[in-house]
Structure 1
């Protein structure tokens, strides 16, 4: 039996998230998400980014992801397998750049303007119309034409953004991806980020899990957690008016002094100075 990556799969679902919900896990597929309303934070393979209405981003095959919703979020979630993408491509044509996870390594969502949102919305409306009419989404010339146009449009948006970001590691180990997803999900719960607690969650010995994680990621689990927290702190400083004390409390730092010390080690500035520099 073929696995999901070898099957022609295309699905579209309406995304409706609140702080307590999580979108369904896709199969071995790419996922392209268009945010219509709301805002919050996402993390893919532990690399966090802020999102808001009109943003567009990609989740690669088997990438660990998590959302932290700050305002109820709606949008559309397109999932499609590599086999489906291959049916759209002539043998002599290179693939779409937007489907290469390396193009999204900065993990900043692509922000669209009103015209681009309208164009994307019109394409998605056709897909939804085909689905509501109970027509198959695969082997459907109308859908194939829409998806080719959609990928080409997203390609252009990614190119316009000029994504020349440093390549982040990908993780071949399923357990590593699951651990990263767990860390992202519980990043504001220090008691659940203890090494022994994480090891128990995945039925590993702490020593074995530590060694496996370091081998796959290149950092110790504790270093990864701290860096992940600090990236989220930086996002909060940029996109919210929360006080430093509130941010320190949210992410489980002992106090502001503890956060200041860790943040300065990573960013060479205190959180206060970092925020002031953003408004300068």
Structure 2
């Protein structure tokens, strides 16, 4: 099977095809695929679904995919890898791109009903269409501040994707429960600020008694607040180990572990191996290393 790599942090490409340009292949990067025009069938891992204009799909590293085109199709591909995500996280104080990278993490760890068109809110379709048109005009140009404009357009698309993901509730949570989504979204968005995730702070945020919110979160997730927060942090650790070259000390500082020993103990209890062994294992299995194979 062909493996498609991305040899630079970020790329945008528009392609029009009458027949499928590639057979089954695996990607080593994150990819948003927007259908500008045309119809056909999209195969992603074990899923098959029809596509049509204004569909937007989110694909993950190591996804296996191929397409069957029914009518001439225009695809816009927005591709990025771990290097690009890390660059966004290290933006300056006055930039909102660090927050954008965290929106991505929220998406990656809450993709309950993927694959399929990610746009659940029909009112968002014309907005995304306008943003895509702007990207297609701006990206080929070589002019002042072109990269900044492109990043802001992509940032807005990602924010809309995050909003739509919030409409896809996990199976453990009733879809009609707005409070359920709000509480878990608040935890995800404040995972970097431990003081905001104390039971008392959560209770005050949602005007619920501390005892009740503890029981409520356990009913929603099957876990205590502390266990849910820890497990979510460990998912973020996995993301950094797989898709970035971050040092353990950097992960410790960013995610609020006491020290590297604390991270090692917690991660080993969660996955059975320590973080360094996990990174080596995943990179070896996927023939993947940030900066080399995308």
TM-score by length of structure 1 reads 0.46
